[in-house]
A and B are shown apart, each in its own frame.
Chain A
């Protein structure tokens, strides 16, 4: 049926529509902002280096050598280490790469699971009107808790460590994504094709999956990505408190906490991981701001 509708348009029309679509694509509008373009490029670079860490890291991040203990940046004692060494003589560059890798992995896993659950809640609330109020009240309850309290409570119940950390980050991202996806789905529910789908006799499952979810996922995915910045910041804070990743695991937050004891003699051991966290979260936030501007037609004018 849709094929017939499309074939009515001439080739030129189709090309014009495609060109217009490309021109107005959200990502194109975002990249017009130089700060956002830099942030996006920087994030791509960071993600690539995190993925490739085992291959591009110059040394083993867990190989200690007390001879290079707390060796400063550019010191002749450890000229082979670009950014010096930490308290057990491990190469900082390699540790930072692997730290970034685990920090990002923890965030991605947590936000994807939490975002998935949030999406299911949001779509269900938008589709089944009867469930809307109770589900959204539940989301309000979750949203009214400060994220750090989830972190503390979960760490207290399951114990300090990675499973608890991921669970906490996951729970904190559920309500935000649930709200966003409900909003996105509610506007899709108004579309005529939803009604058409129902008239054709599609079941609830098919309607939700093939019509509703497929039309909302770009928005939801974008917000899930942006949630990552917040998740990384919270995860780093919990690890810094000793409630997340445990040493010797290379994770940026716990690396910063570890290096704290040597702040006066070797500040780079804790400052470098902090700086990396800051840059990652900053890039996510700059991108997020640009996106909000691009998606909000009120501000575009």
Chain B
């Protein structure tokens, strides 16, 4: 059993003089040691106590910053519950989430100052708003004001391991966002169960959104537990430049980022030696990329290895704090999503991966029915289909939710077919849907290939149909594709880049 207070205090005692956070301010590198960050955290914790917040839900709206992480730890090492929200959401969605979470106070990015007035008028439970900045400002309270408020207050103890520490809102493709309730122990056990270690002071460049559990737990909490130096990427626009500046050894990414970086590697002059290219693109020190959130084609693992970068795929969901399984530097199998973590038990129900263990959530906030659908008999139903191979590595081969059930009783996993059809060079994006009791492939052609081959619309359709005919010949009847729609536009995607399946028919 562990708490964030214990995790942080332990890091503070071991790594006081090491740099905890490094970031850019007008192109100048700034940094703060574990000791200095510890002082911020304690001041915020005391400030919240002085302002009368204990057991309160306190929201954070902002991108990664030293003020954000200081405030998050100020909340969670004391007596309160943190609710990190996506600063990129429209104002009305943020207002809804603040109300849904029963937030009583808010830390707000100065870039979203526009929201303050709306929050005051539309979120009756919110008593205080502090801007995430370390200077005072007329008309607003800031983190500095909060720290000043707690100057004469005694420090407060942390909460118990089994108490809720965070609500993480999940961005499902459909339906209402759900507030995942995670305990102190859920998060700490997840960070501790990843079998990975690094020397204190190892630079980690944090590029994912900090309100996501993967970034929050694996970059920040795990990083701090190892004494790592967390470097903040200010924008994806500057990721390559920032890799050159901060020279990270370790990064967490989603597959789309890996694909973008690969394009730059592939387009480089082949006469440039790999070590020089690695220096230009990765900063020269990068050795490990952990990836998750979507499936990564193993093709990239091999390609990045040529530049000395090991890509390790994992799997998880916010409901599991979030990592369920992961490849590690010493124990990995390409194409798999690694072995389940030691604190996780796995079983399969009709092929669905079900998880039990110390990182599984307590439920969805205020949503007993949704909770009951997902947590049955103590097992978290992931909605993903998968299997363990003979060596104990986990593989995913579809989503339960997306199963197409035909009237003959056959269940079809569209992802499996999409994966096969997607191998054809002319197929840019594909979604398989069940229609008229048969399967329809909706395909957005790869525009590079269309241009390269100089194909007219009819020729594109004919070539794709030929590919489907070839595919169908190798399949049992129920798996054959009977309809084809060639799209004029790419599919709609959600905020995390996943295709919105329910909108697949809209072009």
Q: Are these two chains actual partners, yes or no?
A: no
